[in-house]
Amino acid sequence: MSFKLYFKYGVMGCSKSAQALMTKFNYEQQGYNVLLMKSSLDTRDKKDGRIVVKSRIGLESDAFAFTSKTNFVRLFKSKKAENYGVIIVDECQFCTEAQINQLKELTKFVPVLCYGLKTDFRTKLFEGSKRLLEIADSLTELKAICACGRKATINARFSNGRLVTRGSVIEIGGDERYKAICYDCYLNLKKEQKKNTNSK
């Protein structure tokens, strides 16, 4: 019997972490032991040295922190005594291509549900998200709304109120640094900033 690799993606603020935690709760209600994992790069919700998956609506749970060096197959087999029946990965965009391949391999044993961003602030695919789009058995977009009312598709990064279009791909931040906006608003902000810069 083979299980599925799921990729549930969207922009910041679309309830990815909340849905991951609700899914964890649903599995636990049915008696499953859940292996919840999150990238160690995201330290926003660290508590006493522990990595926590936390949603904007207040749900939270301790999670295993993985790095780019973590081998998920070895990790899963080392925890065999704990009898995990499902794997849930939050912030899966930070996985490497090799790690996504490992998660696909683990679907021989359990279902694997990945929650994360599809693209970075430059509108480019993250490495982990790209591989998930290529090999996941199920793709689900989680929707969020731009301030203008359209569907938000861009994880726009801001600094001192200005849209940022260059810089390091990985820069952890929350609502103070990122805003989910639609593509039209993204283009309009870029044009407006360029116009203001040229007029100085």
Sorted by sequence, the CB contacts under 8 Å of residue 142 that are 6+ apart come out as 8, 9, 10, 14, 15, 16, 19
- Could you confirm whether 192 is annotated as catalytic? no
* List 82, 91, 127, 141, catalytic entry: 91
Secondary structure string (H, E, C) spanning 2-65: CCCEEEEECCCCCCHHHHHHHHHHHHHHCCCEEEEEEECCCCCCCECCECEEECCCCCEEECEE
Residue 197 to residues 100, 163, 191, 194: CA-CA distances in angstroms? 42, 13, 10, 5
Nearest to 90 by CA among 18, 172, 168, 3: 18
Separation of alpha carbons 184 and 180, rounded Å: 12
Q: Which of 29, 44, 28, 25 is nearest to 94 (CA)?
A: 44
Where b means 16+ CB within 10 Å and e means fewer, 105-124 reads ebbebbbbbbbbbbbbbeee
Give me the active site residues, please. 91
